[in-house]
Amino acid sequence: MARIEVKSEITGTVWKVITRPGDKVASGDTLAIVESMKMEIPVITEDGGTVKEILVKEKDPVAEGQVVAVLEE
């Protein structure tokens, strides 16, 4: 099973976590929302799969390129 890392595209703070481990997601789905410069920036997965881990919680700071969630294909 392929492990897919979903990363934040931008530096900011986790505003909302949308999905939970075990959820099935499709390409284009929003897994979490990062707040950056007062904007809600979605963390979108390019691949479909099952959420294995969410590595952040609300209010956590995230850096650009940081892994936010891990999916399994």
* Piece of the chain touching another protein by CB under 8 A; list 18-26, 36-44, 47-55: 36-44
Q: How far is CA 35 from CA 12, 18, 45, in A?
A: 5, 13, 17
Distance in Å from the first CA to the final CA of the chain: 6
Give least dist CB 53 to another protein, A.
Answer: 23
By CB under 8 A, tell whether 50 contacts another protein.
no
By CB under 8 A, tell whether 47 contacts another protein.
no
CB atoms within 10 A of CB 2: 8
By CB under 8 A, tell whether 48 contacts another protein.
no
